[in-house]
Structure 1
Amino acid sequence: MSSKRSLTKEDLKKINVINDPHLSPDGSRVAYVQQFITDDDKYTSHLFVQSTNESEGTKWTYGNGRVFSPRFSPDGKWLVFVAAKGEQEKPQLHLLSLAGGEARPLTTLKNGASQPFWSPDSQKILFTTTYQQNSSPTKGDQSNDSKGKKSEPLVVERLKYKSDASGFLDGKRKQLAIYELSSESITYMTDDDYDHEPSGWSPDGKKIVYSANKAEDHELVSHLYLLDIATKSSEKLTKGDAIFTTAVFSPDGNTLAFYGHKKEFAGATQMKLWTMDLNSKKLVCLTNNWDVHVTDAAIGDVRSGHTNPGPIWSKDGSKLYITASTQGNTNFYSVSLNGQINDLYSGKHHVYGYHVNPAKDQAVLGVSTPTNPGDLHVINLTSGHTFPLTDANKWLEGIHIQEPEEIHCKTNDGWEVHGWVLKPHGYEANKKYPTILEIHGGPHAMYGNTFFHELQLFAAKGYIVLYSNPRGSHGYGQTFVDACRGDYGGKDYEDLMAFLDASIEKHDCIDVERLGVTGGSYGGFMTNWIVSHTNRFKAAATLRCISNWISFYGVSDIGYFFTEWEIGTDLLKDPEKLWNHSPLKYVNNIETPLLILHGERDFRCPVEQAEQLFVALKHRGKDTRFVRFPDSNHELSRSGPPHLRLARLEELTNWFDKFLK
């Protein structure tokens, strides 16, 4: 029996989240961001800088607010970062001299500034800010514009008029700008009616590469563009029905490397690594014969929206450094220009962040495991020697954190499903335990070997926790990730039941009379589907769910294309097929007590999806509870207001305790 105490929901507030590592040009230091939740229920993050020869970092910022994107200048003299001092303030660029002194703000833009990129000569900083086309970017007062003003009608003329991340769109677009250190001036490089995503400078400092969708809203593409700094003119580099992003110049400036795909399987297409010769415009896919999803597909609940720096070139331009997701792990690789792939850092873990110093053959990796929320590790790319740099969550040494056990099982049609089992704190052999099956969202994502507070909390509360990657998940090849499209509630449902059966067969400690099921987003859809197609679960909780694909088409910020991509049709073509895949159609079959949790500001799976389900169940007199979370979008469980995240966990554990214990 472990002497360590069990994890609690309140422990969520103690987790230090390490993000966005960046190596100094001489390889001697790493800058990174450490985020935590304060006692007054706010997210706060600080800038830390740590020597690669020391075991602890030094905090370089203080007070309330949040810090993002620390970036050393190429000459090693400066560190730029983004900071928002208060919850209502817009983020601004700040600059620190590495020779010493206080950080000073570089921008005071009304709409903020973010995403800094140093020019090769360390004299300029490319960044983004937002403003409406043909309007002047403004400095100064960041107070609430709506204070004292009467409400006004919202005029909607675009197909894409809202976003789960941003709410209702106001016409402002992400534009490119350059701050010049010598003159302390800003030059605005774009003034367009679309968003720009910058990813780097050319080695000669004359051009910028960015990605954008300059088509109509119904055309879901992302293409690469070269912006000439002198003329402010853009050249389109890619074409077709494709998604290309995060392009970076080779050391000689003749080639771009980037991530992307040609949407062969719509939103289920695996990301690949590409290059383009800027003289011939020849496009080459370096990972075309590697049946793996390039970039990170793993999900957890302690971090949200961590940045991907894109592929990073080696010093001689012969290869690229990337991450890729396979078999529940995200690992670190190099890919040569002839397509040779080398595994540089692999294991049962989740590499969620990385930066490479090619000149020093050195990389820093952000790595999480099922028992560690995340720490930085430094790797010598020549010798392969790796050592840990941070130890951000020492307090967990006194907490029992359960190591998962992997399970592979066969389905009825011969497919293999991979998943994990967490045994409860204080587990005793020959004892039966209530068990919860948890289902991830996406569906094109993957559970993996990363820290997941919610899963660990269920185990701490005395539950066996089962979680797996049914078909539709990333990590198991293109055929597997595409297999649920047009078949929601079909073979993916059978995969989950096969995994449950295999877990029961392997672990006789699972009490089959006390089974629960839960999941969010796609996992919420699947929870609804499960309880409307079987009564083997004694309790269920559906989170930010989908219940009705017909209404989802028109109310979700992605509904107008996601239904076609995932179900195979839309409301205008075949509403009957949408209804056949809707759990609401089968609501008369639901007998399982169902908890419904949903954010009021969820524009991805809007709250009306939960309302319809609750009203139908309540009208039938079934055992249900509907909890609505204010000020919460689709990211509630990962980045929502801290007190509401805790309230959500309280609702979940209380519900399962009521019916399963």
Structure 2
Amino acid sequence: MWDSETLFELVGLSDPRISRSGEWCAYVLSKPDLMGDKYDQTLVVRSLESGEERFASKGYMPRFSPDSKHLGYVIPSDSTSKSELWVMDVLTGSSRRLLEVEWLVDALWSPRGDRLCLVTSRKRGDAHLYFEEDVPVWFNSKGFFDSEKAEFRVVDSASGAVLESFEESIPLIPLLTVAVWHGESLVYNSPSRENPFTKFTVRIREGGVSRDLFQDVSYTAVDSDGRTLLLHGKPKKAHHAEHSYIYLWDGGKVEALTEKYQWNNSWAPPKLGGDGFVYYVSAEEGRLALNRVGVDGYTQQRIIYDDCWVTMLDVSPANRVVYVKESPTQPAEVYMWSGSETQLTTYNTALAARLGFKPLNKLKYRSFDGLEIDGWYLKPQLDASKKAPLIVFIHGGPKGMYGYRFDFLGQLLAQKGYYVLYTNPRGSDGYDEEFAMRIMHRYGEEDFEDILKGADELIKRDGGVDPERMGVTGISGGGYLTNWAVTHTEKFKAAVSENGISNWFTMYTYSDIGYWFCRDLIGENPLESEEYRKLSPIYLAHKVNTPILFIHSVEDYRCPLEQSVSFHHLLKTLHKESYIAVFRKGDHAHSINGTPKHRLKRIKLIQQFFDAKLVRQQVGFTPKIET
């Protein structure tokens, strides 16, 4: 038997990079330190020929030089806002400190390797107040924008001397590619404050002067070989739920590469190979598949189409790809593909073999209106004469996706005796664009019926499920649908709503994305649209008879804390059974990037609440979550 602390025997792997020569790879290894409540981070550099490794303690953001002889990387300094940029000689493993920089976002080698472009954030920095004249005033994982500007600083890669510096009034959005070198010019993406996920201006800096390449488009520049610019997104999106595809621009007409294949390509930035192919990830019926497509747009090849998720990748001109891959029974490892797949790391493999994670069972079914829905479930070890409780997991997004990934919480609950059900209701990713658009202005209606139908199908097909002991849980949009569930059915005997939504109008006015996201998803005019009330669970609080636990984090600016606090307060005034746990720190993704003790306490809260309500069926709830 294993328990929640087993989470901290798993290591994290991120930011895989490969040198242009194809001889070296690098990645960031993160090991949890539960006692110290921190993560020990190490940059690993590995020879793909000999297996020899170099290490940089606390290193992150690895970037190989174009000649493959050096690796730039970052080490945090004693100051919370500053970091140090170091350069490693990959042959000897020796490193030198190049410079110290504040609020570094990215570092990019020029094609000749003689310069580095450093992208940094500059704010007002007043000790007593933030000031903003635009919306949003804050952004999840960033905090307050505070009149933020992006500074682009080109430095000499040998001395660190500043050769050029300029500023742009653009928001630096997490996970969005900011800039790429295009030959000796710099191309950078300027998101619109009006909608920083679908409206961009793409600009180029040449000879000390910036000009627009593309205005009011829905794609960004993500890679270049000096002749061709790789674009990721869509020429023009009317709705945020539309798919993203891949395009090429060589100075003339923008050419579409992957529109014809129907699958969404938004999960990871695509990369140009040196073999006439573009490498990319596509969301396909629960998989994140690795593919390549010829720059002529006619030749597509599936590279990795296992029941797995490929989440990050990098490509060398030598036709080698490094990537991070996980599956339902195998936590993340780093792999290489060069005609065939080679597993490069085994940090989590031995643990997975020892624990024997449960396989994911497919559950394909038709919903109330005949629409085909994909589901999956984990089955506990069960005495043939007994039945077990079921917990329905609901993903967020709403354009998220369940499928062939490793889910520690689901595995833990299945090991503790629960069935765990995952579904991809209409509105999910992994299918054609029309499927993703089906819930516009009706989020929570037909998609919730899809989820209920999945639970009914599992009960019908597997006699081990106890229909009188069902629970439901979800994060973000999944938290919203959990709130929706307890106001629309009494099938569930316990609910855990995490960082969810209860009131669409205050979501519109308060969230970092609400001012455009809610108008697109719920209704164009929040002051007049009836959907803002109709689709808000808080207005149906009087119908709640299911014990519910709210979990939220103070620094969540995506689905702000008031969403859970307001619903909890109202339920208590109506004498309903409601509990709330508020984490003092952590943003919207606190379940992933919280400190080790934070994450452990979250898991214990969820497990203990379901144990109390579905196993012991006790009155009240008092958690025991000391670590």
When the two structures are superposed, what TM-score results if normalisation uses the length of structure 1? Answer: 0.88
1:48 aligns with 2:41: no
Q: Tell me the equivalent position of 1:138.
A: none
The one-character-per-residue Cα deviations of 1:568-600 (angstroms, maximum 9, x if unpaired) are 2342342x3200000011111100000111111
Q: Tell me the equivalent position of 2:359.
A: 403
1:529 aligns with 2:484: yes
Following superposition, the deviation at residue 443 of structure 1 comes to 0.8
| Structure 1 unaligned residues grouped into runs of 5+ | 136-144, 297-307
Following superposition, the deviation at residue 313 of structure 1 comes to 2.3
Q: Tell me the equivalent position of 1:631.
A: 585
- One-letter amino acid of the counterpart of residue 224, structure 2: F
Distance change >3 Å, CA 406–CA 324, structure 1 → 2: same
Q: Structure 1: which 4+ aligned runs deviate by more than 3 Å?
A: 153-156, 195-199, 214-220, 262-265, 426-430
Any conservation in 1 of the 2:28–2:60 contact (CA below 8 Å)?
Answer: yes
Cα distance in structure 2, aligned partners of 1:96 and 1:371:
36
1:333 to 291, 295, 309: 291
Q: Tell me the equivalent position of 2:625.
A: none
1:572 to 501, 524, 527: 527
1:582 aligns with 2:536: yes
Following superposition, the deviation at residue 41 of structure 1 comes to 0.6
- One-letter amino acid of the counterpart of residue 244, structure 2: M
Following superposition, the deviation at residue 107 of structure 1 comes to 2.3
Distance change >3 Å, CA 215–CA 533, structure 1 → 2: closer
Distance change >3 Å, CA 121–CA 254, structure 1 → 2: closer
Following superposition, the deviation at residue 201 of structure 1 comes to 1.6
Q: Tell me the equivalent position of 2:230.
A: 257
Following superposition, the deviation at residue 314 of structure 1 comes to 3.1
Distance change >3 Å, CA 324–CA 290, structure 1 → 2: same
Any conservation in 2 of the 1:81–1:94 contact (CA below 8 Å)?
Answer: yes
1:34 aligns with 2:64: no
- One-letter amino acid of the counterpart of residue 82, structure 2: K
Following superposition, the deviation at residue 214 of structure 1 comes to 5.5
Any conservation in 1 of the 2:221–2:229 contact (CA below 8 Å)?
Answer: no
Where 2:68 maps in the other structure, the secondary structure is coil
Q: Tell me the equivalent position of 1:185.
A: 161
Cα distance in structure 1, aligned partners of 2:525 and 2:86:
47
User: What is the total number of aligned residue pairs between the two structures?
Assistant: 608
1:223 aligns with 2:231: no
Q: Tell me the equivalent position of 1:285.
A: 256
Indicate the percent of aligned positions where both proteins have the same amino acid.
29
Any conservation in 1 of the 2:131–2:146 contact (CA below 8 Å)?
Answer: no
Any conservation in 1 of the 2:182–2:227 contact (CA below 8 Å)?
Answer: no
- One-letter amino acid of the counterpart of residue 355, structure 1: D
Q: Tell me the equivalent position of 1:616.
A: 570
Any conservation in 1 of the 2:393–2:473 contact (CA below 8 Å)?
Answer: yes
- One-letter amino acid of the counterpart of residue 49, structure 1: V
1:207 to 185, 188, 198: 185
Any conservation in 2 of the 1:569–1:578 contact (CA below 8 Å)?
Answer: no
Following superposition, the deviation at residue 641 of structure 1 comes to 2.4
Cα distance in structure 1, aligned partners of 2:196 and 2:29:
38
1:108 aligns with 2:100: yes
Q: Tell me the equivalent position of 2:603.
A: 649
Following superposition, the deviation at residue 94 of structure 1 comes to 1.4
Cα distance in structure 1, aligned partners of 2:129 and 2:18:
48
Following superposition, the deviation at residue 645 of structure 1 comes to 1.3
Any conservation in 2 of the 1:319–1:335 contact (CA below 8 Å)?
Answer: yes
- The 5 Å alignment of 1:273-352 reads 273-278=246-251, 280=252, 282-296=253-267, 308=268, 310-316=269-275, 318-340=276-298, 341-352=300-311
Following superposition, the deviation at residue 83 of structure 1 comes to 2.0
Any conservation in 1 of the 2:328–2:359 contact (CA below 8 Å)?
Answer: yes
- One-letter amino acid of the counterpart of residue 490, structure 2: N
Following superposition, the deviation at residue 428 of structure 1 comes to 3.5
- One-letter amino acid of the counterpart of residue 10, structure 2: I
Distance change >3 Å, CA 89–CA 584, structure 1 → 2: same
Question: RMSD of the TM alignment (CA)?
Answer: 2.1
Distance change >3 Å, CA 28–CA 408, structure 1 → 2: same
Cα distance in structure 2, aligned partners of 1:342 and 1:159:
43
Cα distance in structure 2, aligned partners of 1:284 and 1:592:
53
Cα distance in structure 1, aligned partners of 2:191 and 2:361:
43
Any conservation in 2 of the 1:209–1:248 contact (CA below 8 Å)?
Answer: no
Where 2:80 maps in the other structure, the secondary structure is coil
1:157 aligns with 2:165: no
| Structure 2 unaligned residues grouped into runs of 5+ | 616-627
Cα distance in structure 1, aligned partners of 2:508 and 2:291:
39
Q: Tell me the equivalent position of 1:304.
A: none
Any conservation in 1 of the 2:182–2:229 contact (CA below 8 Å)?
Answer: no
When the two structures are superposed, what TM-score results if normalisation uses the length of structure 2? Answer: 0.93
Where 1:572 maps in the other structure, the secondary structure is coil
The one-character-per-residue Cα deviations of 1:100-119 (angstroms, maximum 9, x if unpaired) are 2543332212x232422211
Where 2:429 maps in the other structure, the secondary structure is coil
Where 1:289 maps in the other structure, the secondary structure is helix
